[in-house]
Chains A and B, each alone.
Chain A
Amino acid sequence: MDLIVTKGITKTYNPKKIPVHALQGIDLTIKKGEFTAIVGPSGSGKTTLLNIIGGLDRQSNGTVWVDGTDITTLSDNKLIDFRKNKIGFVFQSYNLIPVFTAAENIGFIMLLQKRPKKEIDTRVLNLLKSVGIEEQINKRPNQMSGGQQQRVAVARALASKPKFVLADEPTANLDSKSTTDLLDIMENLNRQEEMTFVFSTHDQRVIDRAHRVITIEDGKIVSDI
């Protein structure tokens, strides 16, 4: 089943002044259950592609189909709802809410989805267990290590029961052990729950674990292995 389909995606920054062509006609299909890494040198356009797939940015041309919906036609408000219900995000610098505990950080997306409190509590606990930090449940981000914070971020990304998770350089700020632990967790989730993961990365450890590696250079896909 095709989960993400992009056709002829282009993205040009500053089109009227000094145009920068970040993406130049990307055709890509990602199926459900894939564990895909988008790689390439800095400035190659991998984060831009991830942002467009995630509905955080708009393409200049082309179409993006996610779970059967052409997200390029959605209004800003519908796109926000779409992101809330269909996509999980993991960011390079974790981006947890500093005033919330681990449990609250994970649960708050479900509050946005207006899920019942009982369901939220149960799912938060299960997610914390699945990322192996249930003992950190009541700790705030500043009381956790980088690796632990990124695990909370993964749990948060999964909380809304998304169709897939987009992770932008998720291991960039982590040490070796934390990176391995995080990749183990994500790989397990991919294997056991068939969760689709799409990474942008230039971390070789991530590339080595990815089932599919798409290389982008100068805004074009140069290899897809």
Chain B
Amino acid sequence: MRMIIKIAWRNIWRNIMRSLVVIGAMVIGIWSIIFLVSLVNGMTESYIDNAIKNEVSHIKIHHPKFINDRESKFFISDVAAAKSIVDTISGVKAVSYKTIINTMISSGHASRGITTIGVVPKNEVKVSGVSQKIIDGSYLFDTKKNQILISKITAEKLKVKVRSKVVLTFQNLENEITMGAFRVIGLFETGNNIYDESVVFVLQKDINTLLELNGNGHEMAILIDDLSQLEHIQDHITKLFPKLLVRNYKEVQPELALFQSQIKMAGIIYMVIFMLALIFGIINTMMMAVLERVRELGMLMSVGMNKGKVFMMIVVETLLLAIIAAPVGLFLGYVTTSYFNKNGINLFFYSEEGMKQFGLDKFIYPNVHTETYWQLVVAVSLTALLGSLYPAWKAVRLRPVEAIRGSFKTRAGLLVSLFNFLRKKTS
């Protein structure tokens, strides 16, 4: 085996340029896959983080009927007491509770349907990222009555600004139409336009008074410390509140899970495309290497090298190319990803509106999991192995007596003759 490795290794450097081209193709392929996967991971994580921070949290608790029929009467009783129970669960980072109703928001210029969320600011800031997305005015605070926080988009559509008055109209628990005047205290912009134009925030105590909902609420949102504990904590809460519906973020927004799985599938597809492109490159190069060395292979078989060793020699030669290329590609991929992971990539530079509509942050931080590196090592090795099989098979099919004289009846022989003829002509 040492002898085979020795011949294979030296054969690689017989035609440096050709070997470097294959190695280069492998390096670029590995690097681009790492970068692409890291970018997609960064986008996925940004999208999911935003969704969790601004909308869904990790776990949500509702009255079971509230999900399909968003009526105010389907509430969680004494929601503050329920919060204090959840707070005691190990692994729970923060809990907030809310009142959620469908309302009509009106200004002097326009009106539109919107979801009004009544929150307790001191709880909400620990769970939601909206308080950090204020672009004008301020976030809600407990001491002032009838404040409302609306998005920049809603403000533009209603033609209002900070300190303007708007009116919320909705049905109370008795199904009577109720109105309340609120003053805009601030404007927010989360980066997700669809979300921004669908919600406004008010103090829970204000909206509960109008609704006559007292100390009850419609939703509890929970953030946890460690995502791997998600199902465990969810089960725990379900046992504590058997009459309520406890769902994790994947159940609340199945599209997040779908998005995650689609992205994973896209990564696999990229890898397969890369492998296919590479496999043809390897076959081409190794076929050239075999054809160039037909006489030598004929000699090796004549003097006693068996077909298994000849086959192995071509396979090892190809694997050595991969062994050279893989660490370089992985290193370049790691360096590039690390750099952009630290500094971020400004996607708004390309399409600000598109990215906002999609719910992405301005900066994407590419990120690769260790398993991707291992997957690539396996993929490249497998590709090299598969790519080497056909040339190796061609090599062992050579008949020593013909190969040694260069007088082939095979297509490979004709190619060799043509190759040798052209080489003589050019030299």
Interface residues of A (CB under 8 A from B): 51, 54, 56-57, 76-77, 80-81, 83-85, 89, 91, 93, 95, 97-100, 108-109, 111-113, 156, 160
Contact = CB atoms under 8 A, between A and B. Distances in A.
B401 A56 contact: yes
B242 interface: no
Interface of B: 3, 7, 10-11, 13-14, 295-296, 298-307, 309, 400-401, 404
A111 B304 CA distance: 11
A29 B305 CA distance: 28
Contacts of A54: 302
A120 B267 CA distance: 52
A98 B11 CA distance: 9
Contact of B296 (A51, A57, A95, A156): A95
Contacts of A156: 303
Given A57-B401, A109-B303, 17 more contacts: A51-B401, A76-B307, A77-B307, A80-B301, A81-B304, A83-B303, A84-B303, A84-B304, A89-B302, A91-B299, A93-B295, A97-B299, A99-B7, A108-B3, A112-B304, A112-B309, A113-B304
A85 B303 CA distance: 9
B306 A77 contact: yes
B302 A56 contact: yes
Given A51-B401, A56-B401, A112 B299 contact: no
Nearest to A92: B405
B3, B302, B401 pick with most chain A CB within 10 angstroms: B302
A56 B301 CA distance: 9
A89 B7 CA distance: 20
A41 B111 CA distance: 107
Contacts of A56: 302, 400-401, 404
A83 to B, nearest CB: 5
A109 B304 contact: yes
Nearest to B13: A99
A80 B3 contact: no
A89 B306 contact: no
A70 to B, nearest CB: 19
A95 B304 contact: no
Contacts of B10: 99-100
Shortest beta-carbon contacts, A-B, top 7: A84-B304, A99-B10, A95-B299, A56-B401, A57-B401, A111-B3, A80-B306
